Amino acid sequence: MSMVLLDVRNVKLYYTTTKGIVKAVDNISFELDEGETLAIVGESGSGKSTLAKLLVRVWERNVSLVDGEIYLEGKEILHMPEEEFRREIRWKRIAMVPQASMNALNPVIKIGDQMTEPLLLQGTGKDEALKMAMDALESVGLPRDLVNRYPHQLSGGMKQRVIIAMSIMAHPKVVILDEPTSALDVITQANIMNLLKKLKWEYKLSYIFITHDLSLASELADSVAIMYAGKLVEIGGAEDIYTNPSHPYTQGLISSVPTLRTDKTLSFIPGEVPSLINPPSGCRFHPRCPFYKDRDYLKGLCDEKEPPMVELEGKASRKHLVACWLYK
Partner 1 sequence: MGLARTLAVRAATLVVLLFIVLFVISFALAGPASKILKDEIMMETKSIIMNLMLHGHYNSTQIQQLQTQIMTELESAYGLNKPPAIRTLYIMYNMIVFNWGYSYFPSEYGNVGGGKVVDIILSALPGTILLDTFGILLSAFIGIEIGLRSALKYGSKSDRAVMYYAALANGIPQWWLGIVMLLIFSFYLAQMHSPISFPTGGIISPKYYELWLTDPVKVFTIPQAVLDLLWHFTLPLITVLIINIGSWAYFARTVVLNISQEDFVTFAKIKGLPENHVVNRYILRPAAPSILTSIFITIPFIIFGGFLVTEMVFHWWGLGYVYNIAIVGSPTPDLPVVVALTYASTLLYIVIIFIMEIVYIMLDPRLRE
Partner 2 sequence: MSMAKKQREFRILGMTPSEITKEFFSSSTGKISAALFIILVVVSMYALIVLPPNFASVWNNPKYWQLNPQYAPPAWINSLIGPVYSPQVYVHDYTYAVQQQNGVTYITVTFNVNYEYDKPWSEIFIVINNPAIYSMPQPPVLSVTVYRPDGSKITLGPLPINSRVTTFGVASEVISQVNLFYNEEYHVSSIVPTGSSATPYIFYTINNGKLTPLKGTYKFDFVFYVFSQNSSVINRNNLEIVLQGQTYGLMGTDNEGHDLWLGLLAGFPIDLAVGLLSALIIVVIAVIIGIVAGFYGGLTDESLMRLTDFVILLPAFPLLIVFSVLFGWSIWDAVIFLAIVSWGASARIIRAMIMQIRSAQYIESAVIAGASRMWILRNHILPQIIPYILYLLVTNVPGAILTLASINFLGLAGSEYPTWGMLLYYADEFGALTSGYWWWVIPPGLLVAFVAVVFILTAMASEPVVNPRLRYG
Residues at the site binding partner 1, with contacts judged by CB under 8 A: 56, 58, 61, 86-87, 89-92, 95-96, 98, 100-101, 103-109, 117-118, 121, 150, 152, 163, 166
What gap in Å lies between CA 108 and CA 227, rounded to an integer? 37
What gap in Å lies between CA 307 and CA 284, rounded to an integer? 10
Least distance to partner 1 from the beta carbon of 39, Å? 20
Minimum CB distance to partner 1 smaller for 32 or for 95:
95
Residue 131 touches which of partner 1, partner 2, none (CB < 5 to 8 A by kind)?
none
Least distance to partner 2 from the beta carbon of 276, Å? 14
Minimum CB distance to partner 1 smaller for 105 or for 289:
105
Least distance to partner 1 from the beta carbon of 310, Å? 35
Residue 272 touches which of partner 2, partner 1, none (CB < 5 to 8 A by kind)?
partner 2
Summary count for the chain: helices (H), strands (E): 10, 12
Minimum CB distance to partner 2 smaller for 60 or for 76:
60
Least distance to partner 2 from the beta carbon of 104, Å? 17
Minimum CB distance to partner 1 smaller for 98 or for 282:
98
**For 135-152, b where at least 16 C-beta lie within 10 A, e where not — what string?**
ebbebbebeeebbeeebe
Residue ranges binding partner 2 (CB under 8 A): 15-19, 60-62, 272
Q: Calculate the alpha carbon distances from 218 to 15, 39, 253, 288 in Å.
A: 32, 8, 13, 25
Least distance to partner 2 from the beta carbon of 139, Å? 36
- Ramachandran angles phi, psi of 264, nearest 5°: -115, 135
DSSP letters for 230-265: TEEEEEEEHHHHHHS--SHHHHHHHHTS--SSS---
Query: Are 30 and 38 contacting, i.e. CB atoms less than 8 angstroms apart?
Result: yes
Residue 17 touches which of partner 2, partner 1, none (CB < 5 to 8 A by kind)?
partner 2
Residues whose CB falls within 8 Å of the CB of residue 2, separated by 6 or more in sequence, listed in order: 33, 34, 35, 36
Query: What is the chain's alpha carbon radius of gyration, rounded to the nearest angstrom?
Result: 21
Residue 10 touches which of partner 1, partner 2, none (CB < 5 to 8 A by kind)?
none
| 202: exposed, middle or buried (Cβ count in 10 Å: 0-12, 13-18, 19+) | exposed
Residue 108 touches which of partner 1, partner 2, none (CB < 5 to 8 A by kind)?
partner 1
Residue 18 touches which of partner 1, partner 2, none (CB < 5 to 8 A by kind)?
partner 2
Least distance to partner 2 from the beta carbon of 18, Å? 5
